[in-house]
Amino acid sequence: MAAYRVVLRRSEEGYSVSCPGLPGCWSQGATEEEALANIQIAIREYVLAAEELAHDDDSRIVEVAVA
């Protein structure tokens, strides 16, 4: 499981949330809890899409740990 830092902001509609480490990855929710749940889904989909775009016959995906 990976952890990502997100920025949570109060908005007119509730809360907006973005992940600075993943450009363009953002979501929103009526409550703080909903916004955080939605960004988890957005991050998961972002990472999967990025892996699919990066993968070809000459590459492979490996994991590295960062402290």
Looking at residue 2, its pLDDT comes to: 85
Instruction: Return the closest-CA partner of residue 20 out of 36, 49, 43.
Output: 43
Residue-wise pLDDT tens digits, 13-66 = 999 999 999 999 999 999 999 999 999 999 999 999 998 888 888 888 888 888
Looking at residue 61, its pLDDT comes to: 81
pTM over 0.75: yes
Domains located in the chain, CATH noted: 7-54 (3.30.160.250)
| Residues in contact with 13: Cβ distance below 8 Å, sequence separation at least 6, in sequence order | 28, 30
In the block, tokens 């916004």 appear at 35
